[in-house]
Amino acid sequence: MVSTLKEILRDYRREQIVDVARRLFEERRSTDVSMDEIATEAGVARSTVYVYFSNRDELILACLQRMHALLNEAIAVAWSRDLDPVGRLRTFIRGMLERIDENPAFFRLAVTTARAAHDPTSAIGSQLALIGLDVTALLVDVITHGMETGGFRPMDPDRAANFIGIQLYGSMSIRADDPAPLPLDATADEMCDFLVGGLATR
């Protein structure tokens, strides 16, 4: 299986470059990490990078896919331990925020790139849409569960998930740009509080 061995080698190389790229994106506050720098930092020639990634977008896509995998992992770990719907929601929110705190600059890059290359045929756009779908699906699960157990009022779970997803998106966008964000737990608690309790007198 020569071809398989070659593929493994190829994947390994790709991973190597993606790791460096992720690190650089993390260190640097702005998107101006050039392909030159990534190559140099990875210890390869710039032209070699283009052997493994046809262009900058594809490299960013690979970084995104890696983040997606890590995100799923992190959330799966903390999933369904707490059976209280509000607790589940809080755990979920906290998990998302935590991931941002781990690598805010990369998240900024993802959002920026997504915005720049919004083309629906763009692979980056699709990848981000996939992540969004994952998040929404999990939220729908939490909400449906909450409605069944009576903690949440009757509503369209999809719309509610959309609403929460937007709050998460906004919060993450802002947090990723915040040099000194509020503590993780306090933020998650507060958000959960407002989401569940609403503004109105109870």
Which position among 35, 74, 78, 111 is part of the footprint of a second copy (CB under 8 A)? 111
Dihedral pair phi/psi, residue 183, rounded to 5° = -55, 145
Q: How far apart are CA 132 and CA 171, in angstroms?
A: 15
* Contact call for residue 114 and DNA (CB under 7 A): no
Q: Is 119 left (phi over 0), alpha (psi -120 to 50) or beta?
A: beta
Which position among 112, 148, 158, 185 is part of the footprint of a second copy (CB under 8 A)? 112
Q: Which CB atom, from 118 or from 159, has the smaller least distance to DNA? A: 118
CB of 73 to DNA, least distance (A): 28
Q: Please list every residue from 8 through 47 that binds a second copy, using CB under 8 A.
A: 29-31
Q: How far apart are CA 143 and CA 155, in angstroms?
A: 9
Q: How far apart are CA 198 and CA 202, in angstroms?
A: 9
* Contact call for residue 173 and a second copy (CB under 8 A): yes
3-state secondary structure of 31: coil
* Contact call for residue 4 and DNA (CB under 7 A): no
Measured between its terminal Cα atoms, the distance across the chain in Å is: 67
- DSSP structure class, residue 43: T
* Contact call for residue 144 and a second copy (CB under 8 A): no
Structure token digits, residue 49: 């990078």
* Contact call for residue 130 and a second copy (CB under 8 A): no
Residues within the interface to a second copy (CB under 8 A): 29-31, 86, 89, 108, 111-112, 115-118, 120, 143, 146, 150-153, 155, 159-160, 163, 166-171, 173-174, 177, 179, 190-191, 194-202
Residues within the interface to DNA (CB under 7 A): 6, 13, 32, 34-36, 43-48, 50-51, 54-57
